[in-house]
Structure 1
Amino acid sequence: MNRLFSALVVCMLSVPSFVQAEEDDLVAQVVGAPIAQNEAHRLASIRLIENYLLPTYEGLSLQMATQAEAWQTVCPAPTKPQLEKLQQHYKNAAGMWVRVEFIRFGPVSFLLRHERVSHWPERRNAVGRALSSLMANPDGEALTLKQFSRASVAVQGLPALERLLFTQDDKWQSPTDEAAIARRCAVGQAIATNLATISREIVEGWKDAEGPLEQARAGKTMGLYYTDASDLGRRLLTDQLTGFQIMGDIKLAAPRGVALEEGQEPVVKSGKLEAWRSGLSKANLLANLYAMKGMTYAWGVTSTWSDTQRVDVETAFQKAHASFRALPTDMKAGLDDGTAPTSIEQALIDLRVLRTQVADVLPPSLDLTLGFNALDGD
């Protein structure tokens, strides 16, 4: 009787081989799918970093270093031609920054590097107040690299340097105030040196063995920057698509203003334009658009798009580029005299279409969803 009972138990507990095979296959599918997905995300992220992000950051570092070197040769009293060269160096450096300014992921997120390079948009004239305070402080120690890197982020970056170079030409040429001119030049040197240092550190961070690129190449997870390859891709993609929102909501819509009551004209706020003092508002938007296109194709997944999708995305980029080029060169003057709002509205329309086209195609082709962005909750 006991032997019969034992045999029955064995039969009940035994699983036929074909059933076990099906279960093993199911487990392999469930486990294998995330592994394959992670590998695809890892490779796509590496392509984006190698083909677009790292070369752009290297270009930024080069421009910042060149700018810093130029500042070292002109103090304590730069001539007008020298000032004009410094202004061009600023434009070159700022033009590279706006090609990565919407990226918050990676080494730029450490030590407040992003905010230190460009504290914008500012609130309550933070840059102007911080710069005035620094100019009034005779302490030379405050301008050393170590001390200056701890100063207010509002005075460390491009917006402060822009004000020094483009809004107070008369203060550079006063023959009766050599000490003030020397101080202004020393402040400019400090900002330029600080920017060059930060930009170099960002590149070094990307290339470091513990940086996101080398970690991705090695297939490592749970590092300083992301938890797995899907998280890496999600963070990069979210930053990219947030760039459209920054361009539309902050760079175009905010300066155009909103109507206080229905039927009224918007209350223009031209002072909210990015880099209006240097006349770069339009150029920066075009550079942003260049960056959006560069990143979209750098992922290396456009071959998976249908012919219709490729045409739709390319057409949307072309229309946005045309409407951006139609913006007035001096956008602030155009807003102030009422000639710019129509072209800004068209740029906003074409930008929304472009954002929709890219957002409809790129995330699915990468098999990624978007996370929270830097503007969520604002």
Structure 2
Amino acid sequence: MNTALSIKTAASAAALSLLLPANLYAQGPSLERWQAFNQSAIAEHITPKYRQLASQSSLLVRSINKFCAQRSDVSLGNAKAQFKQTQQAWQQIQHIQFGPVTMLMRNFSLQYWPDKKNLGGRQLNTLLKKAMVSSTQPSYDNDFFAKASVAVKGYPALERMLFDQKLLVQLHSNASYCPLMQAIASHIGENTAAIVSEWQLELANYREYGEDSSYQSSMEAATEILKALVEPVEGISDAKIAVPLGRQLQKMRWRKSESWRSAQSIENLRSNVTSLQHLYSGIGADSAKALLIESGAAELAETIDQQFSALALQLRAVTEPNDMQYQQQQFDQLAQVQQQLKRLGDSLLAAMKPLQINLGFNRRDGD
């Protein structure tokens, strides 16, 4: 694939879409087509990825428990490997910011990031220091998590503990270190299992629409799903790349990347792009791409898919930095990915016009 040509074609298509009046497009999708889109997105994308997350989180609980019981190099390696698999399962559904994951702030409990004030680190240290001077073993139960900060409940907190370079020292000096890790893993497992279970109840909101329902129409419900497709692209570009990469090589701040401790920040990007493309065009005949073609924007529909594929190809060549620092060529590669993400974001926004979708308030505007 010619990446440069794909970028140029997509940019042209997006620009043309923004210039053309809405009445030049075919009529937008019917309510019946939007309902088909909703059902396919949930059945083919949302619920399977939550089931995968719950399954991987359950395996994570087991691996952490086994490590704490054996404390061997092998069990530690297995726990770290399982954490990475679980984290990638989360990255593939992270863009869904509606439904059961928002209940009781589960989305923030699973991942409080970016942690601009290092709340996770400071609060974990406070918990561990408090445990060391306590005459009794702390109880990390449901009551504890009900009162605890979201910064110590999810994947970032567990990553910080499991990939701590002084892990063995911590284990020998603090008897509460492993119990806290086990408790956090169990809390994650319970939350992800609850999300899967509650999505079975959530399905009712996509069967009946009206004044007394969560959504007044299938189109309004579809708008929520499309927000989960469009809005994350900007967040990936800005928070996951621009902030840690900096504007020039000498100003890289890779410790601000999403998962630098486990060396998974780039792999996160790959999972994000792959999953968003699946939501866009991988759910069959009722996908957003299919509806876009039906709405008279076939060229834009195709170039968006090409942009996703070009991004996936670009990211294959990008590696994690050595010692938190890139060489110029690597820096330029990731900077190009960021620019391509911005173009993809523009194209996806342009696609909302032929679909006659108004995304409304961007959740990131309040950041």
2:287 to 276, 293, 300: 300
Q: CA deviation at 1:85?
A: 0.6
Q: Is the 8 A contact 1:320 1:354 kept in 2?
A: no
Q: Cα distance, 1:195 vs. partner?
A: 0.3
User: Paired residue for 1:54, among 32, 47, 66?
Assistant: 47
Q: Secondary structure of 2:324's partner?
A: helix
- State how far apart, in whole Å, the 2-side matches of 1:349 and 1:258 are: 12
The alignment partner of 1:340 has SS state of helix
**Partner secondary structure for residue 198 of structure 1:** helix
* Partner-residue secondary structure (3-state), 1:146: helix
Looking at both structures, which has the greater relative contact order when contacts are Cα pairs under 8 Å and sequence separation is at least 6?
A: 2
Cα drift, residue 269 of structure 1: 2.0
* CA separation of 1:344 and 1:89: change in aligned 2, threshold 3 A: same
351-360 vs 244-253, greater mean Cα deviation = 351-360
In structure 2, how many angstroms separate the alpha carbons of the residues matched to 1:278 and 1:244? 23
CA contact 2:66–2:75 (8 Å) conserved in 1: no
- Structure 1 residues 273 and 218: CA distance shift in structure 2, 3 A: same
**Bigger shift: 246-255 or 363-372?**
363-372
For 2:144, the equivalent position in structure 1 comes to 147
Of the candidates 148, 160, 164, which is equivalent to residue 163 of structure 1?
Answer: 160
* Corresponding residue for residue 314 of structure 2: 323
Inter-CA distance 41–119: structure 2 relative to 1 (3 Å threshold) = same
Alpha-carbon distance in structure 1 between the residues aligned to 2:256 and 2:173: 33
AA in 2 matched with 1:184: Y
Distance in 1 (CA, whole Å) between partners of 2:300 and 2:156 is: 39
Q: Deviations over 1:105-162 (max 9, x none)?
A: 1111110100000000002111111111121232644411332243111010100111
Change (3 A) 1:221 1:38: farther
Provide Cα deviations, 1:186-232, integer angstroms capped at 9, x if missing partner: 11101100000110111112111xx1x22213456633x44432221
Which amino acid counterpart does residue 377 of structure 1 have in structure 2? G
Q: CA deviation at 1:368?
A: 1.9
* Aligned pairs for 1:1-378 within 5 A: 37-76=30-69, 78-138=71-131, 140-168=137-165, 170-172=166-168, 178=172, 180=174, 182-208=175-201, 211=202, 213-219=203-209, 222-223=212-213, 225-258=214-247, 267-297=251-281, 298=283, 299-304=286-291, 305=293, 308-330=299-321, 333-335=324-326, 338-361=328-351, 363-364=352-353, 366-378=355-367
Kindly tell me: are residues 179 and 226 of structure 1, through their superposed partners in 2, closer, same or farther at Cα, counting changes over 3 Å?
Answer: farther
Q: Which has the larger radius of gyration?
A: 1
Report the more deviating stretch, 236-245 or 59-68: 236-245
Is the contact between residue 323 and residue 350 of structure 1 (CA under 8 Å) also seen in structure 2? no
Judge conservation of contact 1:215–1:221 (CA < 8 Å) in 2. Answer: no
* Offset at residue 93 of structure 1 (A): 0.6
Give the letter for the 1:293 counterpart. Q
The 8 Å contact of residues 56 and 96 in structure 1, kept in 2 or not, is answered as: yes
Q: Is the 8 A contact 1:118 1:157 kept in 2?
A: yes
**Aligned-partner SS, 2:229:** helix
Shift of 1:307: 5.2
**Following the alignment from structure 2 to structure 1, what is the Cα–Cα distance between the partners of residues 221 and 31?**
10
Residues 229, 142 of structure 1: alpha-carbon distance in 2 compared, 3 angstrom cutoff: farther
Q: Is the 8 A contact 2:289 2:302 kept in 1?
A: no
Q: How far did residue 255 of structure 1 move? A: 1.0
Displacement after TM superposition at 1:43 (Å): 2.5
Letter in 2 for 1:303: A
1: CA distance, partners of 2:364 / 2:328: 29
Structure 1 residues 318 and 171, CA gap change in structure 2 (3 angstroms): closer
Distance 1:273 1:331 in 2: 14
Q: Which amino acid aligns with 2:156?
A: P
How far apart are the structure 2 equivalents of 1:269 and 1:135?
Answer: 27
**Residues 64 and 93, structure 1, Cα contact 8 Å, conserved in 2:** yes
Q: Contact 1:60 / 1:97 at 8 angstroms: preserved in 2?
A: yes
Give me the TM-score of the superposition, normalised by structure 1: 0.80
Q: Secondary structure at the match of 2:359?
A: coil
Instruction: Give secondary structure in 1 for the equivalent of 2:176.
Output: helix
Alpha-carbon deviation of 1:236?
Answer: 1.6
Stretch of structure 1 that moved more, 226-235 or 305-314 = 305-314
Is the CA contact 1:234–1:371 (under 8 Å) kept in the aligned structure 2? no
Which secondary structure state, in structure 2, belongs to the residue aligned with residue 202 of structure 1? Answer: helix
Contact 1:255-1:270 within 8 A present in 2 as well: yes
